[in-house]
Amino acid sequence: MQHFELNGQIRQVGAKAVIKAFRKQGLVPCNLYGGGMDNVLFTVDAKALKALTNTPKSYIVDLVLDGGQKFNAVLHELQFHPVNDNCLHVDFLAVSEQKPVSISVPIIISGHAVGVQKGGKFFQTARSLKISGLMKNLPDDITVDITALDLDKKIKAGDVKVDGISVLTPKDCVICGVKTTRNTAVQAETE
């Protein structure tokens, strides 16, 4: 799993006016919790945070706070402004190398489905999978091979197997499939 370094400044609990002042300065208030530690309140630069939030990739975040404090974390929850789409608040969850980490990773589709060659239409409904495993075993992405996918067949989350990783996404969640089109149905009837 790739790591992303993010620098922050520790802050104190503040009222709404203090939080608004942070946002006007281009800072995003954040909270780090979990792992048996006390909550850590801090702020990060909004531009630096965009490199982490505006990508389909998943990262283990290496937080570096004032005084050289370092923490490993994952994004837990993001709050965005409903109109201008600026990030308003971020919650990070502290993780360690000894305990399993739950994270969403992107899905990469590879191959050319047999059903598409027969005239079917390919569809993809899931772009990521929620997985759990030790930090050292986490993949950057999960590749799903669709070469053997025939007409009216689907690949579900339960079909995905990765060594050392358990898939947390419900097993009946459809990742992708091939639909029969009208032309394919008419052609099958005429044959």
Based on the domain organization, do 26 and 68 belong to the same domain?
yes
Query: For the segment 93-120, what is each residue's pLDDT rounded down to a tens digit?
Result: 999 889 999 999 999 999 999 999 988 9
- Show which of 63, 94, 125 is a domain's final residue: 94
Based on the domain organization, do 76 and 108 belong to the same domain?
no
Query: For the segment 164-182, what is each residue's pLDDT rounded down to a tens digit?
Result: 899 999 999 999 999 998 7
Nearest to 105 by CA among 30, 169, 173, 171: 169
Concatenated DSSP letters for 75-95?
A: EEEEEE-TTT--EEEEEEEE-
What are the residues facing 94 on neighbouring strands? Answer: 73
Based on the domain organization, do 61 and 14 belong to the same domain?
yes
Amino acid identity, position 58? S
What are the residues facing 143 on neighbouring strands? Answer: 108
Spell out the residues 6+ positions from residue 151 whose beta carbon is closer than 8 angstroms to its own. Answer: 115, 118, 120, 178, 179, 180, 184
User: What is the distance, to the nearest Å, from the Cα of residue 149 to the centroid of all Cα atoms in its chain?
Assistant: 25
Structural tokens at position 154: 């689907």
Q: Are 135 and 100 in contact (CB under 8 A)?
A: no
Domain that holds residue 136: 101-190
Position 186 scores a pLDDT of: 65
- Show which of 48, 69, 94 is a domain's final residue: 94
- Residue 189: pLDDT above 90? no
